[in-house]
A and B are shown apart, each in its own frame.
Chain A
Amino acid sequence: MLGTLLLGGVAALDAAPVAQTLLSQPLVTATLLGALWGDWRVALEIGVVLQILAASTLPVGARTPEDYAAGGVVGAGLGLALAARQPFAMARESAVLVGVLAGLVAATLGVPLLKWQRRRNEGLARWCEAEVRAGREGALGEAHGAAVALAFAVGVGYCAVCLGLGLWALDPLVTRHSLRLSRAWALAQPLWLGLGLAQLLSAFVQRRLARAAVFGAALIGAWIALMVGTP
């Protein structure tokens, strides 16, 4: 669990403050957590759904997008923790559903926290300019150090709260209602994947007929290749 929380801090840093290498994307954090918890199947099922939904969530301009860095860690971490306590396959599917939903909720609720950090940074920027004009050029480095430390701490803290609350509230639900939850997963998984694929398709096609035709041709070609290629 400590590794999961630290990954929450690292993902919070990568999302915007440091480098933006996409290490914070749900598929990457879910894969790392899958290796950490020794359960690829659950981790990848959660990671794929969250990733396909996160792919079209972009930090363009001053927009504060949903916090999929935290959502990915909370979703996969919670799903893996719940699945580890369930011995049956059906209960593991219900853990996957709960993990995805918890990831989506954590990503949405993380937005005010990101906005709060950015408002804190406004004060830091004003302080920094005054310090530089007063002759302390090192204030720039100190401000950056402080902002990075704050982002890491907020990432770890937010993931800890979400995982703690999630385990406390959702473990009994998964244990008691695994049949209903696994049925809900069978319904929701294709809908979520379709929703995410449509967002990606819309981003690539951009109302150009030729690109829509490329999508159709690739879909049919790949489907035929898959069906015919299998003995």
Chain B
Amino acid sequence: MSARITRGDLRRMAARTFLLQATFNYERQQGLGWAWAMQPALDRLYADPGERRERLAEHTAYFNTQPTLASLALGAAAGLEERRAAGEGPDAAGASRVRSVLGSALAALGDRFFWFTLRPFAACLGVLLALSGSWVGAPALLLCYNVAHLGVRWRGVGWGYRAGPEVMSGVVRRRFERLTAALGVLGAALVGVTTAFLLAPGGDPRPLVFQVGLAAGLGLGLVAAQRPRPSPTEWALGVGALCLAATWLR
């Protein structure tokens, strides 16, 4: 009878996903981190050192996805490896295809949820609290993001292992999409509240120069957001240089 992956192996894999991007590079992206996280499963499944090394080397190939949801792909791939070790699963090319498809599907979902929605939402919440001069903005930012981020990262390997390559199909996918849409609406409201707080913190309206500056910045930013270049940082540097020049030449 072939070996099976244990809970302890899944926990070790989950712990190693925290270093998924430690060796991130342009050639294989997360490939090396993926192999490192997969190692506890391969150690369990392949007693023969030659075969184990061959499998481990296969896993160092190119892989890239949104790093939080990579846990799900890792668990699903470990399940496939278990079947492969038992002589039932796909061959090397098939496993690689599944990995690639999972990576793309999870990236599409994860980028939208974690990068484009949850991260800006957490940042906006932190900024709103910090604007009142309180230190609680930073803990709020960390808490808001990490409840989902660390939760999925730690438990995702187990979910992926149990659900297999269909981990993001059906109910889970729809839940993620609904959550992304709801956070988008809440985020728009949060930006509105932050803008109002900047205009009149504590009900005390700011000077006209500040209000006009904020409106001008918003307008400029909305125009700038339609184009990838110049980046927001380059715009901010330009605005800073312009303000310095204006006060120096006055």
Q: Which residues of A contact B (CB under 8 A)?
A: 16-23, 25, 27-28, 30-32, 34-35, 40-41, 44, 47-48, 51-62, 66, 97, 100-101, 104-105, 107-108, 118-122, 124-126, 128-129, 132-133, 135, 137, 140-141, 143-144, 147-148, 151, 180-181, 183-184, 186-206, 208, 210-212, 214-223, 226-230
Q: Is B89 an interface residue (CB 8 A)?
A: no
B contact residues, total (Cβ < 8 Å): 105
**In the complex, are the beta carbons of A187 and B26 less than 8 A apart?**
no
**In the complex, are the beta carbons of B142 and A22 less than 8 A apart?**
yes
Interfacial chain B residues near A218, Cβ < 8 Å: 188-193, 196
- Summarize B's interface: helix, strand, loop or mixed: helix
Q: Which of B33, B111, B209 contacts A144 (CB 8 A)?
A: B33
When each residue 98-115 of chain B gets 1 if its CB lies under 8 Å from chain A and 0 otherwise, what string results?
000000000100010001
**In the complex, are the beta carbons of B138 and A28 less than 8 A apart?**
yes
**In the complex, are the beta carbons of B149 and A20 less than 8 A apart?**
yes
Give bound CA distance, A104 to B241, whole Å.
11
Q: Which residues of B contact A (CB under 8 A)?
A: 18-19, 21-29, 31-33, 35-36, 39, 49, 52-54, 56-57, 60, 64, 67-68, 107, 111, 115-117, 119-124, 126-127, 130-131, 133, 135, 137-138, 141-142, 145-146, 149-150, 153, 184-185, 187-205, 209-222, 224-225, 231-237, 239-240, 243-244, 246-248, 250
Interfacial chain A residues near B126, Cβ < 8 Å: 25, 27-28, 51
A23/B237 contact (C-beta < 8 A), A214-B188, A218-B192 known:
no
Interfacial chain B residues near A57, Cβ < 8 Å: 231-233
Pick the most buried of A19, A34, A194, A206: most chain B CB atoms within 10 A of its CB.
Answer: A194
**In the complex, are the beta carbons of A27 and B213 less than 8 A apart?**
no
**In the complex, are the beta carbons of A28 and B142 less than 8 A apart?**
yes
A137/B53 contact (C-beta < 8 A), A18-B19, A143-B32, A219-B195 known:
yes
Give bound CA distance, A194 to B191, whole Å.
11
Give bound CA distance, A40 to B199, whole Å.
22
**In the complex, are the beta carbons of B225 and A202 less than 8 A apart?**
yes
Q: Which residue of B lies closest to A123 (CB)?
A: B25
Give bound CA distance, A204 to B125, whole Å.
13
Give bound CA distance, A121 to B31, whole Å.
11
**In the complex, are the beta carbons of A184 and B23 less than 8 A apart?**
no
Give bound CA distance, A167 to B215, whole Å.
33
**In the complex, are the beta carbons of B225 and A17 less than 8 A apart?**
no
Interfacial chain B residues near A58, Cβ < 8 Å: 115-116, 119
Interfacial chain A residues near B199, Cβ < 8 Å: 223
